[in-house]
Chain A
Amino acid sequence: MRRLTPFAPWALFALLLAVLPVALRNDYHLSLLNFIGLHTILVVGLNLLMGYAGQISLGHAAFFGVGAYTSGILTATYGVNPWLALAAGLALAAGLAVLIGIPALKLRGYYLAMATLGFGVIVYIFFVQAQGLTGGPSGLSGIPALSLPGFTFHTPLRLYGLIWTATLGILALSAGLVDSRLGRALRALHDSEMAAESLGIHTQRLKLLIFVWSALYASLAGSLYAHTLNFIAPSSFDIMFSIKLVTMVVVGGMASIWGSLLGAGVLTLLPELLVVFHDFEVVIFGGVLMVVMIFLPRGLVRGLLDLWEYRHFRREGRTGG
């Protein structure tokens, strides 16, 4: 029985996912859930990088954009099969991540933050300027939906099935990764790079691997996004979006797979549910980032739980003696 327990939350979650569309029966709510799924894929990848490898990417929106634009351009302009285009996006994102990661990770410290920031700005400018290829500021439209033989993913419900199958797969894959030998090596790396190295862990290669891994997630999410909306524009891939992704990681808690789902969920829903949020969006994201990192660096939920436990046990300690 004990061996089954780790699978219980997964089974429950899969069940919840299956029931939700029946309960909602509303296209708007479904597409909202679809965005949460896409954001979750992005945030899990960034969380692996931040929470486990201890590095930060301030240009993750660019990898998201590389996936979206590769899929969009290849399918809408050149009529390539969407699944092939998706694979091309993955290959391009991985190639770019290797190109940036190798030199930036060779240096100790936070050069990856700076390199990804620069990369993010350049990619964004490219999306805006390369009008012949990307459609420029007004965007690229006419991106076809993904399809299997005899089945097209073009309604919110069908897309829900596609996106959340992908999201569940990515979550399970990431949880498996974290629990593997590689995951233990990552945690060692996060705690002390020097100690990890002395244990024979090739830290630089490991960090590069996770960076490329997270870029692949982002590109996958980007391709799915392009085929979901059938339209993409540069403004979805700017620095602010990279920072929103970092905020989602921070709110959900670093080094937490389920936290990524929570962070993506909360920060995708809030702007939609609260109309006032719109005017104050930038202020709220900035404020949340600062407050959580200053007072609850383990993440909002973990931090609040820690606080509660601390008080709870202090009180118990007092009554107990």
Chain B
Amino acid sequence: MASEIFVAVLQYLISGLTNGAIYALIALGFGIIFNATHIINFAQGEFVMLGALCAISLYQVFPSLPAAFLGATLLVTLLGLLFERLALRPVQDRSPLTLIIITVGGAVLLKGLAMLWWGKEAYNLPPFTGATPLHLGPATILPQNLWVLGVAALLVAGLEAFFRLTLTGKAMRACAYNPVAARLAGIPAMRMVQLSFGLSAALGAAGGILIAPLTLGVYDMGTMLGLKGFSAAILGGLGSSLGGVLGGLVLGVAESLASGLISSGYRDAVAFFILLLALFLRPQGLLGGKG
């Protein structure tokens, strides 16, 4: 009996960590844009959906997974750059209220366009390397779970290296600390803002493509994923990359355990309950500084 519970918990842990890794990627996207602009980009979840659906469409045309992955990520990155250029840069009244409404509008618009283009049905993307479950002690794990965890870890490490080691990454961090001083030092701040949108669109798209083989791709998947990634970002501390990863994993595991052990119907409510709890008890997030 006790061992049965142990196996079940282990199983929930695996699926929780897998979802959590996706939430972490989305949370990082929120953080990158927030650092660069102090905007909460409510369209982040739609980049995830577009990543998944573009990859599925590309795969139908040319059945190569690496090509579909790269192609879809590239397309969505372009869209992220375009979104900043067309929807946010021309805005004269840069109050947060205006910017929030614009990104909410962008999210709704992208979702609506996706519904017109792909329809309401869910599409399947084959797993990257087969669907034979691997045995991990008493529990089983799908190869795709490992792909999600592995690629997500790689992306997080790559992102961290980009911000710490490359000149562009350092310039972006300088803009986040102090945009005026960064501009005085000759950094094209506007370009950095646009780049932040491209980067977080790419992260979101990658997350969507990774999760598509496990959950199917459908036009309205982005809203929930975006909101959960956002909850993860708040939980970990908005703008902190380690916090985003931690927040994502904690959220994924909590959600999976709660839905398995308590009730699966309230699964989606868990993330938002945690969001509200985090806002009330520790608004700066688990790893955020004071303020």
B283: Cβ under 8 A from any A Cβ: yes
A80 / chain B contacts, CB cutoff of 8 Å: none
Identify the A interface with B (CB < 8 A).
Answer: 50, 54-56, 58, 100, 103-104, 107, 109-111, 113-115, 117-119, 121-122, 125-126, 128-129, 239-240, 243, 246-247, 250, 279-290, 293-295, 297
A103: contacting residue among B87, B102, B107, B279, CB under 8 A: B279
**What is the distance, in angstroms, from B291's C-beta to the closest C-beta of chain A?**
10
B186: Cβ under 8 A from any A Cβ: no
Query: If the complex has contacts A283-B116, A287-B105, A294-B91, are A114 and B97 also in contact, measured as CB distance less than 8 A?
Result: no
Known: A125-B269, A286-B106. 7 other contacts (CB 8 A): A103-B280, A107-B283, A109-B96, A122-B269, A122-B273, A282-B108, A290-B106
B108: contacting residue among A50, A56, A113, A285, CB under 8 A: A285
Instruction: For the complex, give the distance between the alpha carbons of A290 and B272 in Å.
Output: 26
Number of interface residues of B (CB under 8 A): 42
Q: Are A58 and B269 in contact (CB under 8 A)?
A: no
Instruction: For the complex, give the distance between the alpha carbons of A111 and B276 in Å.
Output: 10
How many interface contacts (CB-CB < 8 Å) are there between A and B? 121
Instruction: For the complex, give the distance between the alpha carbons of A287 and B116 in Å.
Output: 14
B98 / chain A contacts, CB cutoff of 8 Å: 293, 297
B101: Cβ under 8 A from any A Cβ: yes
A247 / chain B contacts, CB cutoff of 8 Å: 105
**What is the distance, in angstroms, from A316's C-beta to the closest C-beta of chain B?**
24
B234 / chain A contacts, CB cutoff of 8 Å: 114
Instruction: For the complex, give the distance between the alpha carbons of A100 and B279 in Å.
Output: 10
Q: Are B40 and A293 in contact (CB under 8 A)?
A: no
A246: contacting residue among B87, B92, B104, CB under 8 A: B104
B100 / chain A contacts, CB cutoff of 8 Å: 56, 110, 113
Instruction: For the complex, give the distance between the alpha carbons of A50 and B95 in Å.
Output: 12
| Residues B243-291 near A (CB distance < 8 A) | 263, 265-266, 268-269, 272-273, 275-276, 279-280, 283
**Hey, what's the 0/1 contact readout for B103-122 against A, CB within 8 Å counting as 1?**
01111111111011000000
- Chain B CB count within 10 A is highest, among A50, A129, A250, for A129
A125: contacting residue among B87, B230, B231, B268, CB under 8 A: B268
B4 / chain A contacts, CB cutoff of 8 Å: none
**CB-CB nearest in chain B for A112:** B279
A58 / chain B contacts, CB cutoff of 8 Å: 104
A129 / chain B contacts, CB cutoff of 8 Å: 263, 265-266, 269
**What is the distance, in angstroms, from A206's C-beta to the closest C-beta of chain B?**
16
**CB-CB nearest in chain A for B223:** A239
**What is the distance, in angstroms, from B187's C-beta to the closest C-beta of chain A?**
25
A115 / chain B contacts, CB cutoff of 8 Å: 275-276, 279
Q: What are 14 A-B pairs at a CB distance below 8 A?
A: A50-B97, A56-B100, A56-B101, A103-B280, A109-B96, A110-B97, A117-B227, A118-B227, A128-B265, A129-B265, A246-B104, A282-B111, A286-B110, A289-B101
**CB-CB nearest in chain A for B267:** A125
Instruction: For the complex, give the distance between the alpha carbons of A290 and B90 in Å.
Output: 11
A286: contacting residue among B90, B111, B273, CB under 8 A: B111
The 5 A-B pairs with the shortest beta carbon distances in the complex, nearest first, are A289-B105, A286-B109, A286-B108, A282-B112, A283-B112
A111 / chain B contacts, CB cutoff of 8 Å: 279, 283
**What is the distance, in angstroms, from A194's C-beta to the closest C-beta of chain B?**
15
Instruction: For the complex, give the distance between the alpha carbons of A125 and B227 in Å.
Output: 14
Q: Are A110 and B113 in contact (CB under 8 A)?
A: no
Q: Are A114 and B105 in contact (CB under 8 A)?
A: no
Query: If the complex has contacts A104-B279, A297-B92, are A290 and B116 also in contact, measured as CB distance less than 8 A?
Result: no
Q: Are B107 and A114 in contact (CB under 8 A)?
A: no
Query: If the complex has contacts A113-B40, A286-B109, are A121 and B227 also in contact, measured as CB distance less than 8 A?
Result: yes
